[in-house]
Each structure stands twice: as C-alpha cells, then as structure tokens.
Structure 1
Amino acid sequence: MSPTIRARRGARLSVVVLVLLTLAGAYCFGVFERLAEPKILAEGLVAMGAWGYLAFILAYTVLQPFGVPGTIFIVAAPLIWPWRTAFALSMIGTMGASVVGFSFARFVAKDWVSKRIPARLRKYDESLDHAAFRTVVVLRLIFWMPQVLHAFLGVSRVGFWTHFWGSLIGYVPPLLLVSYLGSEMFDASGRFQTDAWPILAGLLVASLLVAALARAHERRRPSGEPRDA
C-alpha cells in the first residue's frame, strides 16, 4: 500500500473517530437532552446570551448531519430571536450541516454510505445526471435537510458547488416561512398548530415556483457546459 493511500485512510479514520468522540461528548454533557424539543433548546440558548448565536450554529452544523433533527433548530430559532436573525442563523446552520453531511459522505465514508442509500432516492440518479442543479433544488424543497439526503447527494456525481447553490436556493422558502411565521405555526413548546395548514399551502406554492425557476435556469444553460467538480 502506497504512503498516499495510507495517509488518506488515516485521515478518514481520524475524521470518523472525531465524529464519534463529538457525539459521545454531546451525550455525556447532556446536549441531546436539551435538544429533546425546541422549547428546551430555546431556553438554553437564551441563557447563553450573545454566545447563543455561535452555540446554535455549531450545534446545528456538527450534530444535525449525524442524527439530530434539523427541525428542532429551525423551530427553536423564531422562539428566541426576531425573524430576520432566526432566518439568518437557520440558513447558516442548515447550510453548514448540509456541507458537513455531503462532505462526510463523499470524502470520508463514500463506500459505506453508498450501500445504505434507500431506493426512493436512487431513482433521482438519472435526474442528477441530466439536470443536477434543478434536481438538487427540488429535492431540498421537498425533503429539506434529512441526513440521508446529505449522504445521497454526497455519493452522487453532482458537483460540490451545484449542491451548495442548489441547496441554498431550495432552503430559502421553507426557512423563510418558518422564521417569519414560526410563532403562528408552532406553540411555545414547538408543536405544530392545526390552524397553520394555510401557511403550509403557501409554502407549497412558493416551492413549486422556485422549482419552476430552477428548471428554467437549467434550460438556459448550454448543453455542453461542463459541471463543477
């Protein structure tokens, strides 16, 4: 085995160990208990004052790709901060988590992850080959930020920047809506309110509009234009 291959395997193993230690540390210090529901998370972040911004982004970025639901963070944000701040922090945290999940699947555990991608996502492989940007936008609009979607896009052939910008655009409608109308969609405990269905209908319309714009963008691209790596 060449030194280069050994170095790469060593680096990958180090990353895996670091992830496991981070998750173990979060468990030992009771982080997962505080993340049990948005209300508990909100109370903890409020108690931290200005440091709550950084704690929110770091916790979201590091923990969401490896099992913690992202909805806990984006629901908690508007319970704490004004909607503009909640939207900015939710977007930064969501993009950070997406990049970490994508990169972990592509550069660290690609073979292991690839074997565990469900068939319901594999059906989008052909779409990613022919209309990568639009497909990423639509997938983010539909599924948001589940860990398995990070992994699927990471092991696919879609370029990093196509994934980055497609995810960014796909996240805008749902995150903006939850940040702006979070208090009307969720109660103080972070539970969905039944009279918020019209808001979800508006989100669906906005999502379809963004998907249509992404499709128009793909059609305007020259057919021979190379993709990013």
Structure 2
Amino acid sequence: MSPLIKTILRGICLIILLSVLGFSVQSGGLGGVFNQDWVDDNVRGAGIKGNLIFVFGAGLVIALGLPRQIISFLGGYAFGLLLGTGLALVATSLGCVISFTFARFMGRELVSARFPTRLKKANGFLRYNSFAMALLIRLLPLGSNLVTNLVAGVSSASALGFLAGSVLGYIPQTIIFALLGSGINLDPAFRITSSVLLFVLSAALGVYLYRRYRQGQELNGGLE
C-alpha cells in the first residue's frame, strides 16, 4: 500500500474518530455543556473577546503540535460551519506563523539537527516558488503540520510566500473538518458523508498538482 493511500485512510479514520467522539459527548450528557447555547453564553456572548480567546488559544496549541484538523472540527462543532471555518483558519494560520517564526529566529540549530534530511528536501522544494510549493504541501494530506512549519522556517523559503501559500492551502481541510464538526449538531449523516468525500477529493487534487510539478521538473531537467 502506498504512503498516500495510508495517509488518506488515516484521514478518514480521523474523521470517523472525531464523529464518534462528538456523538459520545452529545449522548453522554456533556452536549449541554459544549453545545451552541454554551458557546453563545460563554464565547459568542463575549463578542470579539470570546472569538479572540478561541483563536489565540487554538493558535498556541497548533504551534505546539496539535493537529489542525482537530481545531477545525472543534470550531465547526462550537460555532457552526461558516464562523467555525473562519476562526479555525485564523487560528491555524497563527499557529503556522508562531512555529515558523520560532524556527527561523530562535530554533535554527535545534531544527537543523533534528530534521537534517527533511531540511535538505525542503530547501530543494521551497526555494524557487515558496508560495506554490507551500500551497501544494498543504493540499496533500501528508506529514506533520508542525514539522513542516519548523523545517520551512529554517529553510531558504520566502517567509511571505510560504505563509501565504499555507493559508490558502489550509482552506480545503479547514472547511472539511469544520463541516464535520457542525454535523454533530445538524444533519449529521449528510455532513459527515460530505466531509469524507471532500477529503478524498482534496487529496486527489493535491496528488494531481504534485504529479504535474514532478513532470515539469523532469521536463526542465531534460531541456537543461
């Protein structure tokens, strides 16, 4: 079985696991604590302050290594699809900025020593078009978000290009997992099924773009 197929299967397993967890919370009596009314009273009721608490708290734990898909799921579960997607995307982007900046300005030696092989690959991959390559990396459901951010921070990647490409590339999976989270409270069968299908389509798009990139590299190498 190819690494990509394994990764897609792990993603689907994560979707199933989060769905089961969400329904367990609802049916176990905790739904009254974490449902929309609780969010309205304790987070949304605080206006911008409540949203900032979610964004900065989630951004910090993403910077420390929590999978961004979990934050997107929680955003959709707590705030609904549209607002949950927006807040989760901002939080994920903030986590990316924090870990990238740490690696570039404070953790260069640590990251270089810990991930020498990945750093070499990142330099070759991100060097010439950091925006497009970062976008491609985020579309592919491969690897660790934290490790990617750290290695990119130490590499020769353009900070602005990498961060902009990452934000754009985060959007599909953020929507997918926020949709999944929102489905715990509303139309679960449709939203969970849609999440699985969209995840597979997103992965397929990433693979297609990566293959186009590889073909272009081989063509350029032949012309040289």
Q: Deviations over 1:76-123 (max 9, x none)?
A: 111111211011101100111100010000011111122112635642
Superposed, 1:9-20 pairs within 5 Å as none
Greater helix fraction, Structure 1 or Structure 2: 2
Partner residue in 2 for 1:160: 159
Superposed, 1:209-228 pairs within 5 Å as 211=209
Superposed, 1:49-198 pairs within 5 Å as 49-50=43-44, 51=46, 52-117=50-115, 119-120=117-118, 122-142=120-140, 143=142, 146-184=145-183, 197-198=196-197
Partner residue in 1 for 2:216: none
Partner residue in 2 for 1:222: none
Paired residues in the alignment total 175
Identity percentage of aligned residues: 23
Runs of 4+ in 1 over 6 A off after TM superposition: none
Q: Deviations over 1:118-156 (max 9, x none)?
A: 635642321212332221111122248621111011001
* Kept in 1: contact 2:72–2:175 (CA 8 A): no
Gaps (5+ residues) in structure 1? 1-36, 216-229
TM-score by length of 1: 0.63
Gaps (5+ residues) in structure 2? 1-20, 187-191, 214-224
Change in CA separation of 1:156 and 1:132 when aligned onto 2, cut-off 3 Å? same
How far apart, CA to CA, are the structure 2 residues paired with 1:92 and 1:58? 9
* Kept in 1: contact 2:100–2:152 (CA 8 A): yes
* Kept in 2: contact 1:78–1:183 (CA 8 A): yes
Q: Deviations over 1:162-200 (max 9, x none)?
A: 11211111111111222234445x799xxxx68954332
One-letter code aligned to 2:171: V
The CA deviation at 1:56 is: 1.1
The answer to which structure, 1 or 2, has the higher relative contact order (CA under 8 A, 6+ apart) is 2
Partner residue in 1 for 2:201: 202
How far apart, CA to CA, are the structure 1 residues paired with 2:98 and 2:157? 16
TM-score by length of 2: 0.64
One-letter code aligned to 1:75: F
Partner residue in 2 for 1:24: none
